[in-house]
Structure 1
Amino acid sequence: MPDIVLTTLNARYWHSSFGLRYLIANMGPLAESTVMLEFGINENLADVLESIVSQNPKIVGIGVYIWNIEPATKLVADLKKLRPDITVVIGGPEVSYESEQQQIVQLADYLVTGEADLALPELCRNLLAKTPPLEKVIPGGVPALSEVKMPYHLYTEEDIKNRVIYVEASRGCPFTCEFCLSALEIPVRQFDVDEFLGKMQLLLDGGAKQFKFVDRTFNLNMRVSKAILQFFLDRYRPDLFLHFEMIPDRLPDSLREMISRFPPGALQFEIGVQTFNDDVGDLISRKQDNEKLAENFEFLRKETGVHIHADLIVGLPGETVESFGTGFDRLLKLNPQEIQVGILKRLRGTPITRHDEDWEMIYSQSAPYEILSTKLVPFEDLQRMRRFAKFWDLIGNSGNFLESRELIWSDANSPFVEFLKLSDWLYAREGQSHGIPLTRLAERMFNFLVQVQQRSEEVVAHAIWNDYTRGGREDRPHFLRKFDLPHPRKRTHEAKELPQRQSRHVVGNTGTK
């Protein structure tokens, strides 16, 4: 039986816990008596509890995040009731700040804050040696990355086949955006790039195809960025997919040349635009060269095959629905494949709370602590924007409506205004913004474009049919059966090798070289 169980509740099965793997990789001699158990947030907690106690451990470490705080709290409560002899240690971003009043902290025996790679193994050694620390809260500190062992050998064959493979070449962020936990992680620290690439080679040799880099600023250090891109270019194969988080206004020529050599869909850049409102940017300590950003987007869309996933935030202090809409239209004009409309969250420890009084910021008290209303955006409007975000993801981002979505705003001054009308219209008929089958959503799109916007039935039918069959479907929805439509197109081999969502954008892509 192991002495230590490390566990967490992942948001989805196909997610993998990067943090747990780091902890085990750094357990040293204790690794042999440590077991990792991963669960999902929707699993029955009694079954989770059974799996943990069946190992009869002395110590249980639990990773706590914004997506699992509620079930994790229940799990710790039940575990301490059932087996009070087990020492429960918690850690993770959700409990690393403002922890004093949190129920889960009160229930647990110990809390390791911040980066626990080295602090948790030391705590476990002391506990097993029966020399427990006097303090309940153990600061993880900011360990030198030269002392932190990388965890990539712990990704199993099943992980590589079925789960997201997270990797990182650096930690930290040089910026101070007040809504983001990364703003608290200064300075940026780099892993040794040669050692890191050696680990990437092991993953490639093990069959890994998709790599999600969690570095907050991948394009900050040009030497490292170029080394990583060159490494994957030299080993490129059609099923390779790399995800990076990028600074929007930093893309020098040396990096551009290398990026342009990847084929369409192989690279995905998550680019945090967040707001185009300069006054809001000043309020939240965010500096951004929007002209340079636009220039970089134009290059990426016209000269490369990069899939751009751009982020905008609703509910920032000083932002109105109208000014957000202006920013949305500005971003849409830059033609990213996806615009992630996120609702502002009040993450523990972030200084965004300094605006609560002046801007009347009211947040939900339950995770994920989303904004409920502000001085400029009442609750009712924020609810409309939540639905806008969900419908935009279904229609604007998914790749299922690449052609027909353009009809919504083709004759309008503001795509945002027109899509908000569609969002309101859809919600009035569906009563929800989730769980809508694709066929019914396509029919709703048809009816809105024809009945509300008075567009030609034939034009709309052809656009929706092209969209519907883009992913390889051949069945014809009943509402399209009266139209003379072409035979479904065949998917290209390259598109089939990519993740499904990105592959639809590649098939329908007209913006890349």
Structure 2
Amino acid sequence: MQKDLFLVTLNSSYPHSSFGLRYLMANLGEFQNRAEILEFTIQKDPRDITEALLRLKPKILGFGVYIWNAQETLEVVSLIKRISPDTIVVLGGPEVSHESESQRICQIADFTIKGEADFLFYEFCKDYFVEGKLPDRKIIAGALPEITKIKSPYSLYSDEDILNRVVYVEVSRGCPYRCEYCLSSLDKSVRSFDLDLFLNDMQMLLDKGLRQFKFIDRTFNLSPTTCTRILQFFLDRIDLGLFLHFEMVPDRLPHEIRELVKKFPPGALQFEIGIQTWNTEVAKLVSRRNDLEKVKDNFRFLAQETGVHTHADLIAGLPGEDLESFGKGFDTLSALRPNEIQVGILKRLKGAPIARHDKEWQMVYSEHPPFQILRTKNMDFETLQVMNRFAKYWDLYANSGSFKNFVEAIRTKASQREDQSFFWEFFELNDFLSKRYSQSYGISQTSLFESAYIYLKEHMNYSDEDAKALILKDWSVTGKTDFPKFFKEIVKSETPTTPRSAIPKRQQRHLAGKQEVIN
């Protein structure tokens, strides 16, 4: 049959795959044979995307809209409706599920489906293709789908997806917490898929060759029973060489989960742990609940007794948080030695309850995606601009795993300060880099190494020989052979190679650098 129904999205980059579109396809029933998934990236010219879509002569185009592709999707939808007004455009996704009526893209498109559209989109297609009718309203909403009746999308991951892209999986939807900066705060409960069927799907993906699994459950360890069963499933197959990513509740790590986690080899597990703020008053303002003593104990356990790669999140720009408070929280968290600290800047997600603080805390956000905070009562625009650069340079140096010794040298210098603040010590590096580079993007790795070398000599009083030696230790972890000329004379001719691994390169660098760090 001629394809005339296309499920479309613009991913942030090629390695990402659209989980949502695969759910829609899996639940299209009898309309699957006339449908096709088309994935582009936000880097592609909107005119070229429009040309590719209209060449197919579609009857219906369904677009998945997210915060990272909202602007680019708007451009594509605008072009389509100008050039081919009879083509039916249906929107869905989190970015258009709230405040829909006021959004330009929803006004231009023919229809918008709010919330989980697994069944709603099927009903839309059935009405159109079978009954020959369209809804009498632009904004379509309905009840949450019964989760056990949703057909799984995992068979729709192709061999190319499994080989070259991030494959997302989930065993539950929803979140029991009410953190106001997150859309999951609107969920009424956590709903779980049938665990036996889910594990059958995971075995199918393993049989097809998948070795990296990214779970998108907001609270993977909420149910110890489910969590331990899934961990045991993968532990029994760990000899395949697996990498598993989970989002974890920070203060929930009971004995049975701990015992299982300890059995996984180093680097096989990655836990994303949302802290967001260490300021208890700020946490209360945004309805964030964490038992901080349990959080500390869990981080110590993960760092000292397991090979788990920990990725912790902090948010700058929350109502009530100033730079001093953020710095204290950063220092507390960094002392617990997570492998990565993701410094995020607050974004205003449409529909998120945090909007209730706008007036009292003078919260001003950008009008354009990703809708970042521009200023608050406690952080002015200039401070938040500095924090944007801090976040980027922290990611390039500390989170990348390529500068373990350099970052450890900064940590050591911080211990000699009167305030012993790692945050403020790195803040000084941030100031140096901000003056050295006109922007924090597009900087080559070689340039970053050269900047580190200069910083060691000019700001940390390292001798030329010691600075070169430290930088060389970090450079050796990257596996590169095109050594920078400023220390070429001390480079050995042979470079060790590492075997292929399912563990992503970033995490491999953290593992490799762990043994190399200068004490």
TM-score (norm 1): 0.97
> Aligned residue for 1:463?
470
Q: 1:260 to 1:487 in 2, by over 3 A?
A: farther
One-letter code aligned to 1:101: S
Equivalent-residue separation in structure 1 for 2:464 and 2:336 (angstroms): 29
> Aligned residue for 1:323?
325
Equivalent-residue separation in structure 2 for 1:235 and 1:174 (angstroms): 31
> Aligned residue for 1:10?
11
> Aligned residue for 1:177?
179
Equivalent-residue separation in structure 2 for 1:19 and 1:126 (angstroms): 21
Q: How many residues align?
A: 510
Q: 1:471 to 1:69 in 2, by over 3 A?
A: same
TM-score (norm 2): 0.96
Equivalent-residue separation in structure 2 for 1:479 and 1:415 (angstroms): 28
Q: 1:396 to 1:180 in 2, by over 3 A?
A: same
> Aligned residue for 1:291?
293
> Aligned residue for 2:51?
50
Q: Is the 8 A contact 2:362 2:376 kept in 1?
A: yes
Comparing 386-395 with 457-466, which one deviates more in the overlay? 457-466
Comparing 452-461 with 311-320, which one deviates more in the overlay? 452-461
Equivalent-residue separation in structure 1 for 2:501 and 2:56 (angstroms): 42
Q: 1:488 to 1:263 in 2, by over 3 A?
A: farther
Q: Is the 8 A contact 2:90 2:110 kept in 1?
A: yes
Q: Deviations over 1:231-254 (max 9, x none)?
A: 111111353110000000000010
Comparing 342-351 with 473-482, which one deviates more in the overlay? 473-482
Alpha-carbon deviation of 1:443? Answer: 1.0
Q: Is the 8 A contact 2:473 2:516 kept in 1?
A: no
> Aligned residue for 2:145?
143
> Aligned residue for 1:78?
79
> Aligned residue for 2:392?
390
Alpha-carbon deviation of 1:427? Answer: 1.3
Q: Deviations over 1:72-115 (max 9, x none)?
A: 11111111122111111101100000111111111111110000
One-letter code aligned to 2:509: R
Alpha-carbon deviation of 1:70? Answer: 0.9
- Secondary structure at the residue paired with 1:340? strand
Q: Deviations over 1:136-170 (max 9, x none)?
A: 21114311111100100000001111110000000
Equivalent-residue separation in structure 1 for 2:502 and 2:159 (angstroms): 19
Q: Deviations over 1:291-341 (max 9, x none)?
A: 100100011111111000100000000001111011111111000110000
Equivalent-residue separation in structure 2 for 1:266 and 1:95 (angstroms): 36
Q: 1:432 to 1:321 in 2, by over 3 A?
A: same
Q: 1:508 to 1:491 in 2, by over 3 A?
A: farther
Alpha-carbon deviation of 1:497? Answer: 4.3
Q: Is the 8 A contact 1:173 1:187 kept in 2?
A: yes
Equivalent-residue separation in structure 1 for 2:309 and 2:93 (angstroms): 30
Q: Is the 8 A contact 1:39 1:48 kept in 2?
A: yes
Equivalent-residue separation in structure 1 for 2:20 and 2:247 (angstroms): 19
Alpha-carbon deviation of 1:509? Answer: 2.0
Equivalent-residue separation in structure 1 for 2:493 and 2:281 (angstroms): 51
Q: Is the 8 A contact 2:483 2:491 kept in 1?
A: no
> Aligned residue for 1:226?
228
Q: Is the 8 A contact 1:462 1:485 kept in 2?
A: no
> Aligned residue for 2:201?
199
Q: 1:276 to 1:52 in 2, by over 3 A?
A: same
One-letter code aligned to 2:237: R
Alpha-carbon deviation of 1:510? Answer: 4.8
> Aligned residue for 1:124?
125
Q: Answer yes or no: is 1:476 the counterpart of 2:478.
A: no
Equivalent-residue separation in structure 2 for 1:2 and 1:221 (angstroms): 42
Alpha-carbon deviation of 1:44? Answer: 1.6
Q: 1:319 to 1:337 in 2, by over 3 A?
A: same
Comparing 274-283 with 82-91, which one deviates more in the overlay? 82-91
> Aligned residue for 1:350?
352
One-letter code aligned to 2:476: T
One-letter code aligned to 2:73: A
Equivalent-residue separation in structure 1 for 2:241 and 2:439 (angstroms): 36
Alpha-carbon deviation of 1:264? Answer: 0.6
Q: 1:274 aligns with which of 265, 273, 276?
A: 276
Any gaps of 5 or more consecutive residues in structure 2?
415-419
Equivalent-residue separation in structure 2 for 1:264 and 1:464 (angstroms): 25
Q: Deviations over 1:117-147 (max 9, x none)?
A: 0000001111222122212211143111111
Equivalent-residue separation in structure 2 for 1:289 and 1:165 (angstroms): 32
Equivalent-residue separation in structure 2 for 1:409 and 1:243 (angstroms): 28
> Aligned residue for 1:415?
422
One-letter code aligned to 1:10: N
One-letter code aligned to 2:74: T
Q: Deviations over 1:249-272 (max 9, x none)?
A: 000010001111110111000000
Q: Answer yes or no: is 1:433 the counterpart of 2:440.
A: yes
> Aligned residue for 1:99?
100
Alpha-carbon deviation of 1:458? Answer: 2.9
Q: Is the 8 A contact 1:302 1:511 kept in 2?
A: no
Q: Answer yes or no: is 1:449 the counterpart of 2:456.
A: yes
Equivalent-residue separation in structure 2 for 1:478 and 1:64 (angstroms): 46
Equivalent-residue separation in structure 1 for 2:25 and 2:413 (angstroms): 57
Equivalent-residue separation in structure 2 for 1:204 and 1:275 (angstroms): 37
Equivalent-residue separation in structure 2 for 1:54 and 1:411 (angstroms): 61
One-letter code aligned to 1:185: D
- Secondary structure at the residue paired with 1:309? strand
Equivalent-residue separation in structure 1 for 2:387 and 2:356 (angstroms): 24
Q: 1:151 to 1:2 in 2, by over 3 A?
A: same
Equivalent-residue separation in structure 2 for 1:107 and 1:167 (angstroms): 32
Equivalent-residue separation in structure 2 for 1:299 and 1:386 (angstroms): 31
Q: 1:309 aligns with which of 308, 311, 325?
A: 311
Q: Is the 8 A contact 1:98 1:349 kept in 2?
A: yes
Equivalent-residue separation in structure 1 for 2:437 and 2:410 (angstroms): 19
RMSD, aligned α-carbons: 1.6
- Secondary structure at the residue paired with 1:470? helix
Equivalent-residue separation in structure 2 for 1:295 and 1:339 (angstroms): 17
> Aligned residue for 2:417?
none
Q: Deviations over 1:483-507 (max 9, x none)?
A: x5667663554x8442110000111
- Secondary structure at the residue paired with 1:439? helix
> Aligned residue for 1:490?
496
